[in-house]
Amino acid sequence: MTHLGFDHNLLIGLHIIAVIAWMAGLLYLPRLFAYHTRSAPGSEMDETFKTMELKLYRIIMNPAMIAVWLLGLTLIWFDAVQERWGWAFLLTPWMLVKLAGVLFLTTWHHYLGRARKGLAAGRRDRSERFWRATNELPFLVAIVMILAITTKFAF
């Protein structure tokens, strides 16, 4: 294997590790919200969920999202420049699907961040049913993104 190949594979590996951590948070946080909405503001359960959600968001999700972005952007540069694909690959259908998915996941991440603040302030803006119904959205989007990037639609 060439040195260039190893760098690329290492970057992809690190990118996937960061993606796993980010996805874990995106899938777990709404599940905490579903239980949290049941608790009375100011109760012991409320305080426990507040702490769990804050730590999950700040310690796992934010750094993981930043790492995914930094490694993803580095991979774009790597593919365009080192692998000599040129920048036009950004407009291929598989990359556009990938970028649309990333945009959705990033928006969802920030939406969850605002919802976390609302719950911490004692508001119950969304129902338990809402959090259960939307819980799988990031996973469905991730499935489409991952198959787009691994197959590159070359069936």
Chain residues binding ligand HEM by CB under 6 A are: 12, 15-16, 19, 68-69, 72-73, 75-76, 79, 102, 105, 142, 145-146, 149-150
Burial of residue 62, with CB atoms counted within 10 A of its CB: 0-12 exposed, 13-18 middle, 19 or more buried: middle
- In this complex, which beta carbon is closest to ligand HEM, that of residue 28 or of residue 69? 69
Q: How far is the CB of 75 from ligand HEM (least distance, A)?
A: 4
Instruction: Indicate the residue among 15 and 116 with the shorter CB distance to ligand HEM.
Output: 15
Dist CA 90 CA 110 (whole Å): 25
* Residue with smaller CB distance to ligand HEM, 49 or 57: 57
Smallest distance, Å, CB 99 to ligand HEM? 7
